[in-house]
Structure 1
């Protein structure tokens, strides 16, 4: 893909986050056009002056093709938001990562995927439950997503591998950084049975500020998130909140009322999360349709759209488009446009975002 080196070079610009990255792509039309834009045009962008200064400086230091070649040499694969293989579930969230770096045998594909998360300071009970749930999900054909952290995450990955299934570890550092260090063997096992994935460039060290961003990918890749053990202010609860914001299911495993690591899961259950006592409580929400899904291309080929719906779908991109802009692009009256948007959303071809924005799935 000729554009890919420019996506990677642009994504690694210091201070450029996912949302501003997509703003630049939307404004200029492509990553290469952004990269090659005259300095005066970049510096004139309203609200993006600091990013523009950083980009201008970064372009003088980096050659996109060489950067891409270095990743290939290191055995690091790259997937951009513009590519068809980009996970459809992740593409549907509000702020999908523009670039995914990954190492392993298989990136997240079709079929049901469930995230299992929880405290790093797990009890023997929590480790046992996480491992058994993951193994049972894997045996049923579902993939398991987690964060390769200590405690519940590690138990979930090991359980999925034991169950003969696929698992994906989402990192808050570069994919070439093993963290924590004692997970070196598990890291390689996850690569063999799926992949380790990150939106952070290779070499990025783990940082506390990276993990909330990492968590949105964990929940975004999965149809539902299971919280096994979590204290009242656990990071796992952030993942559960993100899952709710992404219109995904949230499950929680009850524990002893005397355990501080069950306080968070009990609070989730009080707030409406589905109580889980076994894998059947999860699978009954999805079987059989989610385990037998068609590839996106086949799904769309089977859906007949009228001329208005085709026009609206053509006017949307993988980057968010506001309703007003879509109305101007299509020339459709409000009533007709809203009807078409509703039909496309029901068919899961587009996604409505907060603030009147829409994105193509």
Structure 2
């Protein structure tokens, strides 16, 4: 194995992109051989421009050594395209990064139903809610969410997946030590804490516009599918979708308001043949056969009838009063309607109270607020989370009803 310093030298050369670096590796066999080649050897290669030959002739390794020192200090790993841990899925594209910098624990991506969730930075409340729900559902059903960690849809999808207790792999267009956007520092920490963030750019590289199209090919390259949640016609998400098609990946799109410019791109993808989706569960269904050990049993949510709801509400109210242990509430009849163990682990007291207030009937928001004895803001917040998580649904006129999960047959 060639020394890492030669890999870092090759990947950091100005004017030598990933495509050219891969062609050089095919010709010379290793970055070390590329480094020790003579200028005349480079000149024999068809298509190399003068500035590229000049870059390759610069044998200064100080920059590469500094990058290695920075990675060691910051705790980042370096994967080369020749490493066994390098994702074969990514290596199969035409221009894979020859080096990946890794923060956190990178899953074995080739064994994961990895789905990139992408969309506009300037998204609507509809887009935020939908992206968070899709990220949550993908994670709950065993898919690995891939995110660019950008503002807007990327952030919402990543947060949804984390809220479900799943891992996220972030792909960024800057050095791993550069948080972009700055307000996502906590999100970066959360993602790296249980998943990983990867970049082809060394530490200290600032976020730049030209980096993001390159980042997008990695997003789709490590994934089996790309879900476009909300995107205008001129959007990086559409670039990612186009790259995904070129790479042989699946493309999914969520329909949006036909009058909204922020949805024109995603709606166009549907006209062009993208797979129509309304939930993360529908994406997970596509990969059940390919990843049977990863994808959890996909469930279909249907409204509770009055008898089922009464049984559920009675048990929930008992939990609120008595706070029973898992053993006391974990029985087949209750789980048949809704997993109360899961409720106990994932819902707070306000959310429990809202479910109890809705009961077996369809209730207007004003009735729910009155029954909960909570403030309007607390109830609205709980309703939003419960709807995202799929425990309730809103029907016309601010009315809500409970849902339960039924195994797909």
The TM-score by the shorter chain falls in which range?
Answer: 0.7 to 0.9
Please name the residue that 1:115 is paired with.
Answer: 116
Once the two structures are superposed, what CA deviation does each residue of 1:273-316 show, in whole Å capped at 9, x if it has no partner?
A: 111112232122110322437xxxxxxxxxxxxxxxxxxxxxxx
Please name the residue that 1:151 is paired with.
Answer: 152
Unaligned runs of 5+ in 2: 295-409
Q: Distance in 1 between matches of 2:70 and 2:130?
A: 41
User: Residue 99 in 1 paired to residue 96 in 2?
Assistant: no
SS in 2 for 1:208: coil
SS in 2 for 1:85: coil
TM-score by length of 2: 0.68
User: Residue 71 in 1 paired to residue 75 in 2?
Assistant: no
Please tell me whether the aligned partners of residues 67 and 202 of structure 2 are also in contact (alpha carbons under 8 angstroms): no
Superposition deviation, residue 111 in structure 1 = 1.6
SS in 1 for 2:62: coil
Aligned ranges 1:318-333 → 2 under 5 Å: none
Once the two structures are superposed, what CA deviation does each residue of 1:23-69 show, in whole Å capped at 9, x if it has no partner?
A: 21111121111112234433554432321211222x12537556434
The 1:35–1:170 alpha-carbon spacing in structure 2 relative to 1, beyond 3 Å, is: same
Q: Distance in 1 between matches of 2:181 and 2:292?
A: 33
> Who wins on radius of gyration, i.e. which is larger?
2
Please tell me whether the aligned partners of residues 172 and 214 of structure 1 are also in contact (alpha carbons under 8 angstroms): yes
Once the two structures are superposed, what CA deviation does each residue of 1:162-221 show, in whole Å capped at 9, x if it has no partner?
A: 111111111111111111111111111111121111111221111111111111111111
Please tell me whether the aligned partners of residues 3 and 32 of structure 1 are also in contact (alpha carbons under 8 angstroms): yes
Q: Distance in 2 between matches of 1:232 and 1:108?
A: 34
Aligned ranges 1:1-361 → 2 under 5 Å: 1-48=1-48, 49-57=50-58, 59-62=59-62, 67-109=67-109, 110-292=111-293
The 1:179–1:34 alpha-carbon spacing in structure 2 relative to 1, beyond 3 Å, is: same
The 1:52–1:291 alpha-carbon spacing in structure 2 relative to 1, beyond 3 Å, is: farther
Please tell me whether the aligned partners of residues 243 and 250 of structure 1 are also in contact (alpha carbons under 8 angstroms): yes
Runs of 4+ deviating beyond 3 Å: 42-46, 63-67
Please tell me whether the aligned partners of residues 106 and 193 of structure 1 are also in contact (alpha carbons under 8 angstroms): no
SS in 2 for 1:164: coil
SS in 1 for 2:210: helix
Please tell me whether the aligned partners of residues 114 and 144 of structure 1 are also in contact (alpha carbons under 8 angstroms): yes
Q: Distance in 1 between matches of 2:99 and 2:246?
A: 22
SS in 2 for 1:84: coil
Q: Distance in 1 between matches of 2:40 and 2:266?
A: 52
